[in-house]
């Protein structure tokens, strides 16, 4: 009988990308792989591309940073999700569970505790998010990307493993990226990413600056769902809502990147030695984790940072001019970064936890 592992996490692509890096390791070794996520979150769309993985939707609450009547319903949705996850885990009997975070993971971790199933959590950001803070007391092990995160966690079950980077990112081919985008290999390329849901602020600033940008760069713009503007179609500027399978090729062709500062993404850029301008999600729209991530990278010399409240056509162009002029310096600093083999470390931790 094949051993069975459950993965969970969702709400954003960042809460799924680490799972997508680990899942193939277990599929290759003949494990039965299941995923527990929400009924309509981005995790369902991303996992659907892996036909060998069984997807199991449950009810889940959501963290809203604004007043809404929906907030009153969320505790009941979470309780329903715990019941659904408990029934599912009793049926599946997994050896171990890996949780990446996001609110869909909370019912799964709590149900796992009730079922006596070991859980390993991974926290990408410098400080733990609320979903992981709730889940950590019920986990067997907590893995972190930043060493500073260990200050916020129980010493007896926490381990800094570094960034888990998908191996396929290193297999990207620039020529495939140019074929996909129709851009010219002879000219520098700037990639703009506003996160899996897109960023209206970044999109607007890039579009305002487009005449100036196109004098120096070609631009490939990942706008987020529903934010492509067909009226802006022109030579040297290409828009996509979102790219998944082709992202390694697009990253391979990029000479510099403008992005939010979600941990998974910026460590991928670091591993690929891509000079980056980070525009973190501001405090009012988040718990401030992206601000901390960006500051850590700025201090290390891996990235330039532009706060969103200072973002304009002029400041964007100024920061990009400085970044482009110093791109060699940034690459040299990134070359000195030696990533630990986090993927292999976490894979081994999961296998150890799965042993009787």
- Asked if residue 327 has pLDDT above 70, the reply is yes
Indicate if 181 and 136 belong to the same structural domain.
no
What predicted TM-score, i.e. pTM, was given to this entire model?
0.83
Indicate if 209 and 308 belong to the same structural domain.
yes
Residue 26 belongs to domain spanning: 4-165+340-354
Pairing of strands 96-99, 158-160: unpaired
- Least Cα distance to 245 among 11, 104, 53, 45 occurs for 45
- CATH code of the domain in which 292 resides: 3.40.50.2000
Q: Is 319:326 a contact under the CB 8 Å cutoff?
A: no
Indicate if 202 and 243 belong to the same structural domain.
yes
Indicate if 160 and 174 belong to the same structural domain.
no
Indicate if 53 and 13 belong to the same structural domain.
yes
Indicate if 231 and 115 belong to the same structural domain.
no
55-86: per-residue pLDDT in tens? 999 998 665 454 555 556 667 788 999 999 99
265-286: per-residue pLDDT in tens? 999 999 999 999 999 998 876 6
Indicate if 143 and 209 belong to the same structural domain.
no
Indicate if 232 and 267 belong to the same structural domain.
yes
Indicate if 93 and 76 belong to the same structural domain.
yes
Indicate if 199 and 113 belong to the same structural domain.
no
Q: How many domains does the chain have?
A: 2
Pairing of strands 237-240, 256-259: unpaired
- Asked if residue 196 has pLDDT above 80, the reply is no
- Asked if residue 14 has pLDDT above 90, the reply is no
CA atoms within 13 A on the CB side of 46: 27
Indicate if 17 and 33 belong to the same structural domain.
yes
Beta strand segments in the chain, E: 4-8, 32-38, 54-58, 96-99, 119-123, 141-144, 158-160, 189-193, 218-222, 237-240, 256-259, 276-278, 303-305
What is the C-alpha separation between 283 and 266, in angstroms, rounded? 18
DSSP assignment, residue 61? -
Indicate if 114 and 199 belong to the same structural domain.
no
Residue 138: both structure tokens together: 């019920």
């Amino acid at each position: 009988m094949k051993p069975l592992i459950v993965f969970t996490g969702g709400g954003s692509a960042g809460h799924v990308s680490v799972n997508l890096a680990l899942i193939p390791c277990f599929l290759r070794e003949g494990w039965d792989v299941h995923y527990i996520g929400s009924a309509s979150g981005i995790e369902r769309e991303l996992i659907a591309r892996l036909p060998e993985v069984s997807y199991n939707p449950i009810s889940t609450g959501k963290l809203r940073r604004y007043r809404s009547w929906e907030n009153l319903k969320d505790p009941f949705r979470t309780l329903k999700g715990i019941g659904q996850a408990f029934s599912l885990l009793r049926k599946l009997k997994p050896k171990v569970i890996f949780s990446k975070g996001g609110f869909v993971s909370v019912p799964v971790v709590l149900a796992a505790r009730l079922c006596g199933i070991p859980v390993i959590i991974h926290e990408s950001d410098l400080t733990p998010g609320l979903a992981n803070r709730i889940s950590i007391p019920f986990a067997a092990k907590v893995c972190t990307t930043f060493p500073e995160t260990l200050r916020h966690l129980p010493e007896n079950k926490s381990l800094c493993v570094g960034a888990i980077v998908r191996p396929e990112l290193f297999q990207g081919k620039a020529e495939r990226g140019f074929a996909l985008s129709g851009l010219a290999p002879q000219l520098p390329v700037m990639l703009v990413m506003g996160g899996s849901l897109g960023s209206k602020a970044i999109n607007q600033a890039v579009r305002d600056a487009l005449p100036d940008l196109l004098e120096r760069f070609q631009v490939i713009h990942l706008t987020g769902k529903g934010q492509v503007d067909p009226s802006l179609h022109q030579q040297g500027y290409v828009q996509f809502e979102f790219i998944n399978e082709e992202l390694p090729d697009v990253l391979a062709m990029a000479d510099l990147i403008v992005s939010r500062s979600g941990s998974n993404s910026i460590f991928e850029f670091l591993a690929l030695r891509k000079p980056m301008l980070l525009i973190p999600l501001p405090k009012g729209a988040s718990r401030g984790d992206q601000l901390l991530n960006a500051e850590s990278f700025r201090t290390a010399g891996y990235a330039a940072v532009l706060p969103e409240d200072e973002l304009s056509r002029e400041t964007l162009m100024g920061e990009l001019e400085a970044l482009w002029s110093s791109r060699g310096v940034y690459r040299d600093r990134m070359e000195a970064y030696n990533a630990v083999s986090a993927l292999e470390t976490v894979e081994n931790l999961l296998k150890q936890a799965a042993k009787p």
